[in-house]
Amino acid sequence: MAETARRIDRIDTAPRFTAADVARLNARFEGATTQAVIRAVLEEGLLGRVAVVSSFGAESAVLLDLVAAVDPSTPVVFLDTGKMFQETLDYRDTLVDRLGLTGLRTVAPEPATIEARDGTGLRWSYDPDGCCEIRKVLPLAAAMKGLDASITGRKGFQASTRSGIARFELDGDRIKFNPLADWTKADLDRWFEARDLPRHPLESQGYLSIGCAPCTSVVKPGEDPRAGRWRGWDKVECGIHGEPIVRPGEEPVF
């Protein structure tokens, strides 16, 4: 009896995704509704192992509601930096309960890293990039291990730095899926009303983009919704959505 050929294991060194994959996805779903794209991504497994990355901020309920309508067990990664508003933590719990989300993963910075690099807890006041690195970028990088793609709530109208973003983007060798890329503020408001979704309690006080408490301020009339983040600093992103942070003698942190 012939011996069954032995299966040879090989290490797959190819990237998860390439620019060509992103182009095909954007072309395939051009003109499709947001709901249809989300359903295809989650039900067909188009992006492999995927998680929503949510701040549970002012507009987060819309994306979470859309995802929950397809699969409420979809992993949802929330970065608890240790500097969040209590209102945000309470809002997170409200939305998880209201939408029946069962895949919440709350991720926190490593205590040893905080002790070594921000023992006073005041790094935000003199080095906001460094604070975001240890409290957001590094924890998310660890949380993304084993995942192939992230789903974000980024929208083009939020700031000039986000204008024209595509539904699918290459993020290293992963894909970043932005279902609400072309939604307007009016679109979001209509969805909140139609679905009777609860609002973040700080929104009524003028906080239109809500991150860590020390670096979030009220948005003034006429400003971009994200103008209240890191006010007074030449900084518009935390590092999660943008160029990797590179420090002398270190590898890039994506």
* 81 in any annotated domain: yes
Q: What is the span of the domain harbouring residue 151?
A: 19-199
Q: 89-93, 162-166, 212-216, 222-226: which range is least confident on average?
A: 162-166
Q: Is residue 251 part of a domain?
A: no
State the total domains in the chain: 1
pLDDT in the model for residue 86: 98
| pTM of the predicted model as reported, rounded to 2 decimal places | 0.86
Question: Is 131 known to be catalytic?
Answer: no
How high is the pLDDT of residue 156? Answer: 82
In whole angstroms, what is the distance from residue 153 CA to residue 166 CA?
12
Asked if 76 and 101 count as a contact pair (C-beta separation under 8 A), the reply is yes
- Residue 85 is predicted with a pLDDT of 97
Span 181-199, mean pLDDT? 96
**Is 164 inside a domain boundary?**
yes
Residue indicated by tokens 């990088």: 141
Active-site residue, selected from the candidate residues 131, 212, 215, 238:
238
141-149 average pLDDT score? 95
Higher pLDDT among residues 6 and 202, named by residue: 202
Is 253 within a domain? Answer: no
Instruction: Determine contact, residues 87/55, Cβ cutoff 8 Å.
Output: no
On whether residue 3 sits in a domain, the answer given is: no
For residue 194, is pLDDT > 90?
A: yes
- Which CATH number does the domain housing residue 29 bear? 3.40.50.620
Contacts of 23 (CB under 8 A, 6+ apart): none
Mean per-residue pLDDT of the chain = 88
Q: Does some domain include residue 6?
A: no
Is residue 43 domain-resident?
Answer: yes
Q: Compute the distance between CA of residue 210 and CA of residue 203 in angstroms, rounded to an integer.
A: 8
Task: Give the largest Cα separation in the chain, rounded.
Answer: 81
Cβ contact 226:236 at 8 Å:
yes
Average pLDDT over residues 160-189: 89
Averaged pLDDT, 21-50: 97
